[in-house]
Structure 1
Amino acid sequence: MNPPGLDLDALGAWLPTAVPGAGSSLTAELIAGGKSNLTFVVTDGTAQWIVRRPPLGHVLATAHDMGREYRVMSALQGTPVPVPRTYAFCSDHAVIGADFYVMERCAGTPYRRASALAELGAERTRAISQDLVDILAALHAVVPEEVGLGDFGRPEGFLGRQVARWKKQLDASRTRDLPAADELHRRLAASVPAESATGIVHGDFRLDNVLVDTADGADRASAVLDWEMATLGDPLTDLALMLTYHRLAESIGQAVADASTAPGFLSEDEIVARYAAASDRDLSGFGWYLGLAAFKLAAILEGIHYRFLAGQTVGEGFDDIGAAIHPLLDAGLTAMKEN
């Protein structure tokens, strides 16, 4: 039986041509929890792979870029940033109706809930959160040209384009008036700062986009996932977005990933201090970055809310997304005062 968005007969005909040794008789399971791209575990009965494709239905023009994910993960092989092995990318929509790629299935858990981390205890949770910050700093230390990503984005004017881009994305998915979003956009556009040194930006860096392998108590990050918004630009946007997720979790709890509220998880000040110790980037004026992060996340959530109202989401957990946008925008407006 085909899961939504994945024609197993067509995939089975293609997979052996791209992945040596792969069988053609496949079964697949949708991995629950994703509210954006669809992620499947695919097996031929012997081996397993991960297949990623865009969501069904309403897809914004620049979002859900499978080619970007595939390219950046392939480039980061061999760096201190843990990423899955990549096998093949397909842009032929005759196969499953969309771009997709195949990668290794890595061992590990994407910790989304504080309750799951609490089972590990505060000491192990603290170590996991420290590792998370260290990986982010390591990513931002990678020189794009040295891994073949020198042309991966247009870093000049990155912050200004981010403000314009997320305004466009938000407007494309609007289902209601959001005056706080309009005010936050106005303030961001009026005060774009000078950018820090160019680096690789993940675009959605948070704990539940990282697989943590807890086998034998190692608590080691085995893979950073979800690179669909990766580009070259100002890496401080990654740090700000991660902290904005944490602030949102504190305000509305389980309506979003709340792992950062688990006992032992580094506090916001500790995260910033640990990152600053591993980086030479200037964190003054960081409130603007937090405002941009809130605006970006609001645009993403509104897109998900749009698809939910249209009946185009797959899985559960979408009911509260629309309501989560309001405290997020309020937090963004407050952050702008922290400069």
Structure 2
Amino acid sequence: MIWDWVENTALPGHRVTTKRELTGGYSNHNVAFTTDTGDTYVLRRYLGDDAGAVEAALARRLAGVVPVPEVIAIGHGALVSRFLPGRPLSEVLADAETDADATVVEDLGRSTGETLARIGTVSFAAPGFFADGTLTPGPPGIEPASGLDVFVDKCLAEGNAAGRLTDAEQRALRTHAARATPLLTAVHGLRRLVHSDFNPKNLLALEVDGRWRISAVLDWEFAFSGPPLVDVGNMLRDPRPPGFAEAFLEGFRAQGGDLPPGWRALSSALDVYALAAFLTRPPEHRYFQGALARIRDLLASAD
């Protein structure tokens, strides 16, 4: 039993008194719980690959760089971390947009950009993906930002796009990926920390002294070593409240984030990896449906 492990190994001597399910992603299930000491934690259970060792190692590496939950224990395909206060950025932005509160939107946009730039200050020996807690990028010689055309073709062939994207749309997406692939040589060799799911649902925000700031960056299971423009493309994929994108880019630059010539086309091309990967998820999944809409927008703007 997972809760036996929590009480006897992860937090020996503690007893769980309350539990509350948190909104989760496709690859994990999260439960906030309080113990008899009054402390609150989060139990994260991986539904796919066990990324606990990687997330724990990244939490240690990021201490003092950006706010991340402290990892208490890993095991049994799960991770226990301390609960950090804050509201999902997605919720705060929705409220601010409803209230037409431009100051809140701009504060959060700027803080989000600053946070992303600080993530990019963490570097590794090479580009690549993390297989374990050593955070050694691999496999050797693999460039994460290469082969976009091959990746898109594979996702279309093996995923669930058939019957949801027309044959013409699938051909157009393949053509778009083939044209974008050579552009990405501009970011080959970059070896910065990439969150790879950097969007408002994975960020917490807090109001401190009348100003809103990012208080935590969550869900690092997809992180890798590569070009930070991956995260820029992710954050700008969907429409944001007026003023957010401009403040986000301003904060990113001010904190030292690099936006090279042609960065918009590069970040958009890098985001196609995620959109294509979403096509391999079940058609009823919200990410699948969102990917269809975003791909159609992308193809329309490319005409």
Query: How far does residue 120 in structure 1 lie from its aligned partner after superposition?
Result: 8.3
Gap change, CA 1:100 and 1:150, over 3 Å in 2: closer
The answer to whether the Cα contact below 8 Å between 1:89 and 1:102 also exists between their aligned partners in 2 is yes
Query: How far does residue 215 in structure 1 lie from its aligned partner after superposition?
Result: 5.2
The question of 1:78 aligning with 2:71 is answered no
The question of 1:200 aligning with 2:185 is answered no
Give distance in 2, aligned partners of 1:170 and 1:109.
36
Question: Which residue of the other structure, out of 71, 76, 80, is the alignment partner of 1:102?
Answer: 80
Report the AA paired with residue 218 of structure 2.
L
Report the AA paired with residue 204 of structure 1.
D
Greater Cα offset, 165-174 or 287-296: 165-174
Report the AA paired with residue 73 of structure 2.
A
The answer to whether the Cα contact below 8 Å between 1:244 and 1:294 also exists between their aligned partners in 2 is no
SS in 2 for 1:160: coil
TM-score by length of structure 2 reads: 0.78
The question of 1:183 aligning with 2:175 is answered yes
Greater Cα offset, 32-41 or 230-239: 32-41
* Partner residue in 1 for 2:145: 159
Matches within 5 A, 1:103-118: 103-113=81-91, 114-118=93-97
The answer to whether the Cα contact below 8 Å between 1:290 and 1:336 also exists between their aligned partners in 2 is no
SS in 2 for 1:112: helix
Report the AA paired with residue 104 of structure 2.
R
Give distance in 2, aligned partners of 1:201 and 1:264.
24
Query: How far does residue 216 in structure 1 lie from its aligned partner after superposition?
Result: 4.9
Give distance in 1, aligned partners of 2:145 and 2:44.
28
Report the AA paired with residue 106 of structure 1.
L
Gap change, CA 1:88 and 1:163, over 3 Å in 2: farther
Question: Which residue of the other structure, out of 233, 238, 256, is the alignment partner of 1:279?
Answer: 256
Report percent identity of matched pairs: 23
- Aligned residues between the structures: 284
Matches within 5 A, 1:206-221: 206-214=199-207, 216-221=209-214
TM-score by length of structure 1 reads: 0.71
The question of 1:265 aligning with 2:244 is answered yes
Gap change, CA 1:280 and 1:35, over 3 Å in 2: closer
Q: Which runs of 5+ in 1 are unaligned?
A: 1-9, 93-98, 250-259
SS in 2 for 1:157: coil
Q: Which runs of 5+ in 2 are unaligned?
A: 126-132
The question of 1:141 aligning with 2:121 is answered yes
SS in 2 for 1:212: strand
Query: How far does residue 33 in structure 1 lie from its aligned partner after superposition?
Result: 5.8
Greater Cα offset, 101-110 or 22-31: 22-31
Relative to its length, the structure with more strand (as a share) is 2
Give distance in 1, aligned partners of 2:214 and 2:233.
21
Give distance in 2, aligned partners of 1:70 and 1:104.
12
SS in 2 for 1:102: strand
The answer to whether the Cα contact below 8 Å between 2:113 and 2:250 also exists between their aligned partners in 1 is no
SS in 1 for 2:184: coil
* Partner residue in 2 for 1:255: none
Query: How far does residue 235 in structure 1 lie from its aligned partner after superposition?
Result: 1.4
